[in-house]
Amino acid sequence: MMAPTGTTKYLIDGLVASAGVSDPVSAIRLKATQAVDSFVAIFGEPDPFPLDLVALASFLGIKRSQAPPSFSPDAELAPDGYGGVEMRVNPDRPVTRRRFSIGHEITHTFFPEFTTHVWPRANSRQRDLSDPDDYLEMLCDVGAAELVFPRRWFTRDALRVDSACGIAKLADTYEASREATVRRYAEFHLEAVTAVFFGWKLKPTEKGRLGRAEQTNLLGISPSEELRDALRLRVQYTVPSISFSSAGHFVPRDKSVKNRGPIYSAASTGEPTDGEAELELGQARGTYGIHAIPLWTPIDERGPNGEFAVASIIRPLTTIPTIVKTFRGGPGLFD
- Tell me: the pLDDT tens digits for 129-167? 889 999 999 999 999 999 999 999 999 999 999 999 999
Q: Which residues contact 324 (CB under 8 A, 6 or more apart)?
A: 248
Q: Of the residues 148, 164, 189, which one is the last residue of a structural domain? A: 148
Domain span at residue 41?
A: 8-148
Q: Of the residues 148, 183, 200, which one is the last residue of a structural domain? A: 148
**262 touches 292 (CB < 8 A):** yes
Output the CA–CA distances (angstroms, integers) from residue 291 to 95, 294, 327, in the order listed: 25, 10, 20
User: Other C-beta atoms within 10 Å of 9: how many?
Assistant: 15
Q: What region, left, alpha or beta, does residue 208 occupy, with left being phi > 0 and alpha being psi -120 to 50 degrees? A: left
Q: What is the pLDDT of the chain when averaged over all its residues?
A: 89
Both 101 and 203 in one domain: the answer is: no
Stretch 175-201: mean pLDDT: 96
**291 touches 313 (CB < 8 A):** yes
* DSSP 8-class letter at 34: H
Per the domain annotation, does 332 fall within a domain? no
324 pLDDT more than 70: no
Give pLDDT, residue 283: 82
pTM of the model: 0.88
Identity of the residue numbered 298: P
Give pLDDT, residue 208: 55
Per the domain annotation, does 322 fall within a domain? no
Give pLDDT, residue 210: 55
Per the domain annotation, does 324 fall within a domain? no
Q: How far apart are CA 143 and CA 329, in angstroms?
A: 18
191 pLDDT more than 50: yes
**74 touches 101 (CB < 8 A):** yes
Beta strands 75-79 and 62-64 are: unpaired
Output the CA–CA distances (angstroms, integers) from residue 23 to 16, 30, 103, in the order listed: 6, 11, 20
Both 20 and 164 in one domain: the answer is: no
Give pLDDT, residue 224: 64
Stretch 48-63: mean pLDDT: 97
Both 132 and 41 in one domain: the answer is: yes
Both 189 and 298 in one domain: the answer is: yes
- Residue 212's domain is classified under what CATH number? 3.30.450.130
Per the domain annotation, does 333 fall within a domain? no
